[in-house]
Amino acid sequence: MAQDPENLARVVLFDPIRQNLRTTRYALYELGFREIDTFSALGEVRERIEAADVDLLVMEPEDDPKVFNLVRDIRHSRIGRNPFSVIFLTCWTRDPQNIRQALESGADDLIARPFSTRFLDERVSAAIERRKRFVVTSDYIGPDRRSGPRAGAADPRYLSAPNTLKAAAKGDWEALEATYQHIKTVQEDVAKERVQRLSVRIAADLEISNPSSPSAEISVIKQARELERLAERVGPETASIAKALTKSLTDGEAGAPGKRWRVARELAHGVCVSSGHGDSSASEEIDRLVGKLREKQDSVAKDGGLEKQKGLHSAA
C-alpha cells in the first residue's frame, strides 16, 4: 500500500502486551497511518468504539477470548456506528480453537505473529482493494469463507461490505461520507434480512425440537431475544410481534411447553411475514429449513448408529 500523506484512517490497536502494541503501531505508522489509538484493556477498546468511528481494528485475542465477542458485537451492530470496519486478529500460536473462533467471529483476517511490515502491508492492501464479500445468515455476519453449502443451513445472502478503510486511507472525504451513508442503508437491509432469517430459524427449531428439552428452550429463547432486538429496526408491527414471541416463550403461566411452542411458532411466522416476506413465502422458507434440519438430524443419528455398531464390533 503506497503511503498517502492524506491518510484519514482511524486505527485502534488492542494487545495486553505493550511491546506488541508498540511494534504494531510502528509497522502501521510506516505504512502511512497516523491516527492510531492503542489500548491494553479491552474495556477501553469498547469505550473507544462507542465514542468514535474506527476504520481498522487490530486485536490480539490469545489472552482475552472476549475479543471474539467484541468482534461479533461490532458485526451485529450492537456497538459502534460501523459494523463493517476492517478487523484483523493476531496470534502467536496456531491454536485450533482460537483459529476457529476467529473465523466464526466475523474478523477479516487472522495474522500470525511475528509479522513483517511488508506482510502487514500486503494484508492491509488486500482488505482495501480485494476484500472478501460478506455473508449474512441468522447468526453470522462477516467474510464469506464457505467452500460450499452447509447441511441444515438456509441459503445465505451475500453483500459487498461498505469499506470506510478504502476511502479513509486514500484521504477521500467525499467518498468517506458517501460510504457512511451507504452503511446506514446496508444496515437496514441487513437487519431486515436477519429478522427474516432468524424468525424462520426459530419457527423451524420450534417445529423439530423437544419442548421439554432445557437446552432447546434456552437456545430458542436466546434467539428470540436477539430477534426482538433486531425487530426494533424494522418497524413497530414487527417489533410488537417479536416482543410477543419472546413473552410466549418465557411466560411460564402461558401453559404447557408444547402449547407455548405452538403459539411461538405462529408468532415467528408472523414476524417473518411482517418484515417483508409474503405469507406463503414465509411458510415455504420455514418448511424448507425444517426439511434440511430433519435431514441433518437423520444423518447425525445414522452416523451415531454406525459408530455405536463399530464400538460393539470392537468390543466383541
pLDDT tens digit string along 283-292? 888 888 888 8
Residues 27 and 123 in one domain: yes
pLDDT at 153: 53
pTM for the model: 0.79
> Cell numbers at residue 163, please?
469499506
> Cell numbers at residue 83, please?
459494523
Of 87, 102, 131, the residue that ends a domain is 131
Instruction: Please name every residue paired with 157 in a beta bridge, in sequence order, or none if there are none.
Output: 136
pLDDT at 210: 86
How far are the Cα atoms of 301, 302, 304 from residue 309, in angstroms, in the given order?
12, 11, 9
Residues 122 and 204 in one domain: no
pLDDT at 284: 87
Q: Does residue 255 sit within a domain?
A: yes
pLDDT at 1: 59
Of 105, 131, 157, the residue that ends a domain is 131
Q: Does residue 189 sit within a domain?
A: no
Structural domain containing residue 36: 10-131
Residues 117 and 16 in one domain: yes
Q: Which residues of the chain fall short of a pLDDT of 50? A: 152, 306-316
pLDDT at 157: 82
Q: CATH no. for residue 111?
A: 3.40.50.2300
Q: Does residue 179 sit within a domain?
A: no
pLDDT at 304: 60
pLDDT at 312: 30
Is there a contact between 45 and 98 (Cβ–Cβ < 8 Å)? no
pLDDT at 51: 95
For the chain, how many structural domains are there in total? 2
> Cell numbers at residue 219, please?
437456545
Q: Does residue 272 sit within a domain?
A: yes
DSSP code per residue over 210-251: -TT-HHHHHHHHHHHHHHHHHHTTT-HHHHHHHHHHHHHHH-
Of 98, 131, 164, the residue that ends a domain is 131
pLDDT at 126: 96
